Amino acid sequence: MTDKKIVLYDNEEVLAVVPEHCSGPGWTNTPVWVYIVNDLTGAVRTESIQPERQTAAMLTLFDTAVAIQKALKNAVPVSLLMKK
């Protein structure tokens, strides 16, 4: 199968790329999520690239990118608000 090409429309650009290990009972998947933003409207859309459609570079960088993404997520300071 060939690598998936993300189609960008006028005024769009790739905002972020997030690899994900996901699984459930009897299944596992490793998609790459591509977040695309329209620079004029601010609208964001998401596309996924399944493993068989990922580029060689994506496959090579996947596990490292997952580790970095998790570390960045854990580094975000948050405050939890409790409902009254």
- C-alpha–C-alpha distance, residues 56 and 79, integer Å: 39
Integer distance in angstroms from the first to the last C-alpha of the chain?
A: 53
Separation between Cα atoms, residue 64 and residue 60, nearest integer Å = 8
Q: What pLDDT was estimated at residue 12?
A: 98
For the chain, the farthest-separated pair of C-alpha atoms sits apart, in whole angstroms, at 53
C-beta neighbour count of 62 within 10 angstroms: 17
> Could you state, in chain order, the average pLDDT of each consecutive group of 10 residues for the chain (84 residues)?
94 97 97 98 98 97 97 96 85
